[in-house]
């Protein structure tokens, strides 16, 4: 359109102004409309275990972000049963060229299996190193430490996330399950029958609390 206007010799000041405006709009348009591409990388909590597809974490997060007018694509890379070791093994080949950010939600199965927090730390550290090499922004999501292995295990487990977030300068969401409540009995009201995985209402509560942190990740990506 701009070339057409110039070729026909727009001489009036208003015509020149319009042509200039169209030119600037064409320059600014693609950047303003650029979609952000993020992968949600995790285990069954990310995958949406036990729920109809549209009620899982990633679909509900997509709907929440859309309601906030965020132009973002969120890929579901959750694998049920995955530990941090399994995640570390598949992380690099899960990354496609268009990805700009990662929501990293792993560690729940490490806790269930009583895996040494030092091992979990090494696995997550390796994932974050790979993300840094690929220049991906990360939102690291913590998990509550289990109480059945004693207070020292729990403290060491939970410290892994905060330490790595600081080391790698990632955004950090301390506890994925916190929106379900501090009281275990209260949290069970939003769990499936297994007492481990949130039901649809529980996921909705998580997404409502978690969404702004994803928006912060999107903002960090856009500001690069």
Q: What percent of the chain has pLDDT over 70?
A: 85
Given 69, 183, 194, 223, which residue is catalytic?
194
pLDDT of residue 32: 52
Q: Which helix (H) or strand (E) holds 22?
A: helix 13-33
Contact 10, 19 (CB under 8 A): yes
Q: How far apart are CA 217 and CA 102, in angstroms?
A: 9
Confidence check: pLDDT of 23 > 80: no
pLDDT single digits (tens) 24-51: 444 444 445 489 999 999 999 999 999 9
Contact 106, 138 (CB under 8 A): no
Confidence check: pLDDT of 169 > 80: yes
Contact 110, 84 (CB under 8 A): yes
Mean pLDDT lowest among 42-56, 63-77, 114-128, 172-186: 172-186
Mean pLDDT of 190-207: 97
Confidence check: pLDDT of 121 > 70: yes
Given 43, 44, 82, 110, which residue is catalytic?
44
Supply the Cα-derived Rg of the chain in whole angstroms.
22
Mean pLDDT of 136-147: 96
Residues linked to residue 41 through DSSP beta bridges, in sequence order: 77, 104
Global confidence as pTM: 0.85
The pLDDT confidence band at residue 13, using thresholds 50, 70 and 90, is: very low
Q: Residue 156 corresponds to which tokens in the numbers above?
A: 């060491």
- Using the structure block, give the residue that is written with the tokens 């268009």: 98
Q: How far apart are CA 72 and CA 185, in angstroms?
A: 36
Confidence check: pLDDT of 9 > 80: no
Catalytic-residue membership of 163: no
Catalytic-residue membership of 44: yes
14-23, 28-37, 152-161 — which one is most confidently predicted on average? 152-161
pLDDT of residue 224: 84
Given 43, 82, 110, 197, which residue is catalytic?
197
């Amino acid at each position: 359109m701009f070339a057409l206007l110039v070729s026909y010799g727009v001489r009036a000041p208003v015509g020149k102004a319009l042509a200039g405006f169209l030119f600037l709009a064409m320059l600014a348009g693609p950047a303003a409309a650029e979609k952000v591409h993020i992968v949600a990388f995790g285990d069954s909590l990310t995958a949406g275990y036990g729920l109809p597809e549209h009620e899982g974490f990633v679909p509900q997060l997509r709907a929440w972000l859309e309601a906030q007018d965020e132009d973002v694509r969120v890929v579901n890379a959750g694998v049920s049963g995955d530990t941090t070791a399994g995640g570390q093994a598949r992380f690099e080949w899960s990354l496609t060229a268009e990805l700009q950010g990662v929501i990293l939600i792993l560690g729940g199965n490490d806790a269930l299996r009583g895996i040494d927090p030092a091992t979990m730390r090494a696995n997550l550290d390796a994932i974050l190193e790979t993300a840094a090499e690929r220049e991906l922004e990360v939102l690291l999501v913590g998990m509550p430490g289990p109480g059945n292995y004693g207070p020292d295990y729990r403290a060491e487990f939970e410290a892994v996330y905060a330490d790595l977030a600081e080391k790698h300068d990632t955004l950090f969401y301390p506890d994925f399950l916190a929106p379900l409540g501090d009281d275990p009995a209260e949290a069970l009201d939003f769990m499936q029958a297994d007492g481990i995985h949130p039901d649809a209402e529980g996921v909705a509560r998580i997404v409502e609390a978690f969404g702004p942190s994803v928006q912060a990740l999107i903002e960090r990506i856009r500001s690069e």
